Every structure is written in C-alpha cells, then in structure tokens.
Amino acid sequence: MRILVVEDNEDLLRSIVRFLKKEGFTVDESTDGDEGLDLALDNHYDCIVLDIMLPGVDGFEFVQTLRESQIETPVLMLTALDAVDDKVKGLSSGADDYLTKPFDFRELLARIKSLIRRHNLTKGEEIVFKDLKLNSRSRQATVRDELIRLSKKEFDLLETLLRNPGITFSRDELIERVWENEKEIRSNVVDVYVLYLRNKLKPYGYDKYIETVPGLGYRFHKG
C-alpha cells in the first residue's frame, strides 16, 4: 500500500512517515503543497494524508485539483482546530475524512485503513433500487436525479441495508457495520438513525421499504 503524506511541519512529517513505514506502508512525503500535488498527479496512491495549511497550494485547492483530474484517491485531512474546521466538515461529508491535530496514531491508522478499505470496496459502484440510486464513491443518494441530503451515517446505514435486501440486521450488527470500530456502543442510536433515514426518504415514498422486524432489527424489503 502506498501513501502520500503532505505536511509542512517537518518534525511531525518525519514521525508520521516513520510510523506508517513501521506499519508496513510505502510512504512518499512532501512539505510543500505544489510538490505534493505533482506527486499525487504523477503517481498512484491508496491514500493521501494532507495538511490544510501548506506552502504553495493549500489542502482545499489540492483536493479540488485532484478531483478535477478524475483522481479519486481518498484523502485524510489534517486540521488544526480553527475556523477552517467547519469548512473541512462540509468537505469531508463525502468520502474523505479529517483528523484534528494533535491526533493519536492509533486513530490515524484506523482512519487510513478505513478509507482504503471503503475505497477498494466501492470503486465507483452504483446501487440502484427503482428510482433510488446510491453512488458509493461520491456517497450521494439521488431519486430521479434529485439529491437527498444524507449524513455520513445515514448513507452508510441505507447502503448496508440496500446492499443486502431481505436480510434482517440486528441492532448490534448494524452498529458493527456502520459504526465500524465502535463495536461496543450500547444505545438506541440505530433506532434514531433509522428514524432519520425514514424521515428523509418519506417525501419520495421509499421509507416504507425499511422494515422493522420486531424483536430482531431492521431489513430492506424489496417490494
């Protein structure tokens, strides 16, 4: 697996690179936005770890140029907990993720692995059910080309159910799939999200396909 790390704080960059190499990744590095972008455009990477504030092009322009060049490599943004946070949040509601500096390396690793896994799993794939389309790459849901604004978790939940029609998922199973490394969660959070999802699908009449199976969980019922 090949990773590009672009970070202008050289000390931090050295540690990240050293850590990722130790974890078995092949790592390219750069301290400059322009140089990093050249690397990203010329090579294939499985994931890019990108600081936002960079000399040369900044993180936002970096990603934009990348996407305009049809390069769909997942990007993990590193932010510094300031006003750009909100902007990042908006941006990362799609496929990409962000991490606030200083971060735990365990967290960094988990996020990178999750991004790569998801990316490989869903390369440009589209799930279609009647007029409802889910694009796993852009993480957008549409009905007759009209965008349904789903949050990350809502999308994951719908995707999980829609990929396995007719199969009943227990709440624990859904937590395991949608919340990934938060397996121990004990809460009615699944019910809350199912409710949200149904609410958002309701205007298009698709809420009725998400069925509650009493005592067991939820399933997507085609027809």
Partner 1 sequence: MIKMKSLRQAIQRYYLSIFILSMCAMAVTFLITVERLTMKQIDQELLSFTNDLVHFLENPSGELVAIFGKKDYSFQVFEKDKTLASFNIKEQIPVDHTGFTFINYKRVYATRAGTYKVTVAKDIKDHLVTMAILATVLATVIVALTFIVHRFGLKLTERMIKPIEEIGKQMDDVSKGYAKHIEIEPTSQEAERLQLQINDAIKRLHSTMEELREFASSLSHQLRNPLASVKAQIEVMLKETDDEELRNELTTMLKNINTMVQITSSLLLIARAQHQREETFQEEDISVTLLESVEQVMQRFPKIDFILDVPAQIKARCVPGLLSHAFINLIENACKYSQEDKPVKVSLSKSKNFVVFVVSNHGEPIADEEKEKIFERFYRSRNAKADGLGLGLAVVKAIADLHRAKIEYEYNGKNTFYMYIPT
Q: Which of 61, 105, 164, 203 binds partner 1 (CB under 8 A)?
A: 105
Region of 113 (left: φ > 0; alpha: ψ -120 to 50; beta: rest) is alpha
| Interatomic CA distance for residues 162 and 46, integer angstroms | 27
- The SS3 assignment for 51 reads strand
Q: Is 147 in the site for partner 1 (CB under 8 A)?
A: no
| Interatomic CA distance for residues 126 and 168, integer angstroms | 22
In the complex, what is the shortest distance from the CB of residue 13 to partner 1, in angstroms, rounded to a whole number? 9
Q: Phi/psi of residue 121, each to 5°? A: -70, -30
Half-sphere exposure of 46 (CA within 13 A, CB side): 16
Q: Is 58 in the site for partner 1 (CB under 8 A)?
A: no
Q: Answer positive or negative: Cα dihedral of 55, 42, 123, 119.
A: negative
In the complex, what is the shortest distance from the CB of residue 166 to partner 1, in angstroms, rounded to a whole number? 26
In the complex, what is the shortest distance from the CB of residue 83 to partner 1, in angstroms, rounded to a whole number? 7
| Interatomic CA distance for residues 144 and 177, integer angstroms | 28
Q: Which of 193, 206, 209, 220 binds partner 1 (CB under 8 A)?
A: 193
Q: Which is nearer to partner 1, 11 or 145 (CB)?
A: 11
Span from 35-43, 119-127, 157-165, 183-191 in contact with partner 1 (CB under 8 A): 183-191
Which residues contribute to the site for partner 1 (CB under 8 A)? 9, 11-12, 15-16, 18-19, 22, 80-83, 85-86, 89, 101-105, 151, 153, 179, 181-182, 184-189, 192-193, 195-196, 199-200
